[in-house]
Amino acid sequence: MAELIISVSGVRGVIGDSLTGEVAFNFGRTLASHLRQSDTQPSIVIGRDSRRSGPLIQQAFSAGAMEAGASVIDLGIVTTPTVGLMTRLLKAAAGVVITASHNPAPYNGIKILQPDGIALSAAAIAGLKQRYLTRDWFCGHIDAIGHYATDSRGHAHHVQTVLQYFDTRQIIQKRYRVVLDSINGAGSIPSPMLMGKLGVELIHLNGTADGNFSHTPEPIRENLIGLCDAVAKHRAAVGFAQDPDADRLAIVDENGCYIGEEYTLALCVLNRLMKKKGTVVCNLSTSRMIDDIAAQFGVNVIRTPVGEANVAGRMMQEHALIGGEGNGGVIDLRVGPIRDSLMGMASILELLTVTGKTISQLVNDIPAYSVIKHKMDVDCAGAGILAEKIARQFAQYQPDRQDGVRVDFGDSWVQFRPSNTEPIARLIAEARTPDRARKLIDDVLAI
């Protein structure tokens, strides 16, 4: 049986195995019971990506929450950042997204957001996990059952919120041709709305929100060959790729070359700092390109453990201008403390407009690094043992233990960290040359 993972990223498992309707029902009871400690009539905003298992998990979770005394506002199929926005708009006690993000179709999950839209902290998730495991649930009489309602304003509110921070007239005048791969996920619905408002000629690949993923969902190079070919074929200015819940964004340049998720945040940071100086926050696994760009403007970069909640929480503490993660996740607090591919796409189009450069030219202006990523199967106990061995091996370099173990060597670094969502560990190395990055990976694999 697959492991049900409960982490800072929420709950995630395999449908019909570790994640069932019963599990979702009980997590609904768990969250509602937790919320009732401070609000006897809490409301929960809930949305889902387009996975075929979405209605099952969403309805089961909603039923459990209602039984435990919470009212539910159902947004339908929406992006993860949309749920964050609507949670704030509706002044709900919590937001819930039924999604497994970039994981393959057999997976689904339950991501919980606080009233301000930020994901729950590790400590808060740990508290919910304990309540779930001990079955500490509120069960009331008929009068305590929560209400159910729907709200269809999510997509329009999201698009309108993003657009207010850009000079749309300038972008419209360019009449950009854009190829977008929405993987038949939640981004299929609001993205054409956004592109239409920006005067874009859109070639939309996999633009039906039916959950039939036409390729492996994670927006990495090997999964986006079709997008690269389409950008070259249609002579588009840029190609964009979303993951199923549309919080991550990858970019293909005008030549049909995949430039990678790391450049998404880098280019968005560049665009934001060109207009205003301020602190940038990113996680420990994000490329050093962010530091190089920030240095051009004389601003600070603060690094946190991996996890959207960690980055967003520190951004709020520091009143950061922009932040995010090197997996294509851009966070702008003006829209919300959550990764947002719509904000990313608008920012990239604005950067093209303001600079008059192509994507490839913008990329060439940024000092280049070679990044190598490697996955290995390992459970939580094994990952902890390996992290200790790596830290001992490189003790002279004073490893950073905030998140797994990261070792810096001046102009290069390597990190080993367990995943928050899968029973794997990730190895990431970055250096000026591929050979140096590869050697760092091999050194850790040897351990």
* Catalytic residue IDs: 101
For residues 268 and 329, what is the distance between their CA atoms, to the nearest angstrom?
A: 10
DSSP label of 267: H
Beta carbons within 8 Å of 133's beta carbon, 6+ residues apart? none
CA nearest to 320, candidates 328, 256, 310? 310
Do residues 124 and 73 make contact, with C-beta atoms less than 8 angstroms apart?
A: no
CA nearest to 283, candidates 320, 229, 336? 320
For residues 296 and 298, what is the distance between their CA atoms, to the nearest angstrom?
A: 6
Do residues 439 and 411 make contact, with C-beta atoms less than 8 angstroms apart?
A: no
- 380 — phi, psi (to 5°)? -60, -45
Amino acid at 240: F
Q: For the chain, state the CA radius of gyration.
A: 21
CA nearest to 113, candidates 17, 279, 244, 247? 247
For residues 438 and 431, what is the distance between their CA atoms, to the nearest angstrom?
A: 9
- What count of Cα atoms within 13 Å lies in the side-chain half-sphere of residue 38? 8
